[in-house]
Amino acid sequence: MSSSPQAAALPTLTPRDWPSHPSYIYAGYRSTAKRGPTQPLIPLKASLGELRQPVYGHNSIGELDHDLTRNARRNGEPLGERMILTGQVLDERRRPVRNTLVELWQANACGRYVHKVDQHDAPLDPNFLGAGRCLTDDEGRYRFLTIKPGAYPWGNHPNAWRPQHIHLSLFGEYFASRLVTQMYFPGDPLHQYDPMITGTPEKVRNRLIADFSLDVTEEGYALGYVFDMVLRGADETPFENR
């Protein structure tokens, strides 16, 4: 009995490009020695891997969740340089991936997070939370309005400062499909000193750096940056979890 034409036509996925991703444990990034796994990963049973997303999933996207300049206002505008971050989530064939939940979190313009563990001697902004989320549209595109984050010290090595960056995570249809990466800004002199960048193979580090875009920039309001995220294949974005 011959196989059906439909089955024969199903595409095969390109194997993961593991050498393009940073190592779990990297000597230059000290805390990875404590949290990087040293034993083989344990596969989850299918029933656990198919858990639906929790309450912050697709069905609870608020009207201002994508706009970090407005979603935490209490008594005025957040301080700092306004910016627009947009891009596409793409598969290995550069096809758009729609209805993907994109989460964003970052420091404020002074380089401080709204988190009790962050004790950096920099002011908090009462009108800026530093977190947002949105869904990709039919073209796989996401868009955030936010404030450009500041650099901050982090104690990893002498005089250690993290470059300006934004954290991004992607959820597919299931909770277990989460991927996490970081986006950096072009021309930052701190790139060469940051072990999260230097821990990524040099030939693919440019995939972590956004492009400035005058087309995305809005006159008199905010500068624009484009950062595409590719899920698999030769152009795959380096992710922090494999």
Domain-by-domain residue ranges, the chain?
54-230
Residue 239 CB neighbours (<10 A): 20
Q: Ramachandran region of residue 202, left (φ > 0), alpha (ψ -120 to 50) or beta?
A: alpha
Q: Is 98 a catalytic residue?
A: no
pLDDT at 37: 82
Q: Which of 66, 112, 165, 191 is catalytic?
A: 165
Q: Which of 21, 66, 112, 162 is catalytic?
A: 162
Q: Which of 29, 113, 184, 225 is catalytic?
A: 113
Q: Which of 21, 66, 112, 167 is catalytic?
A: 167
- pLDDT per position as a tens digit, 83-113: 999 999 999 999 999 999 999 999 999 999 9
Q: Is 113 a catalytic residue?
A: yes
pTM of the model: 0.79
pLDDT at 178: 85
DSSP assignment string, 65-82: TTBTTTTT-SSSPPPS-E
- Mean pLDDT, the chain, rounded, equals 87
Task: State which fold the 54-230 domain adopts.
Answer: Protocatechuate 3,4-Dioxygenase, subunit A (2.60.130)
Mean pLDDT of 198-211: 95
For residue 220 the two structure tokens come to: 């008199």
- pLDDT per position as a tens digit, 131-158: 999 999 999 999 999 999 999 999 999 9
**Maximum mean pLDDT: which of 39-43, 58-62, 143-147:** 143-147
Cα–Cα distance list, 163 to 54, 97, 107, 219 (Å): 32, 29, 11, 26
- CA pair distance 100, 51, nearest whole angstrom: 16
Q: Is 165 a catalytic residue?
A: yes
Mean pLDDT of 204-225: 97
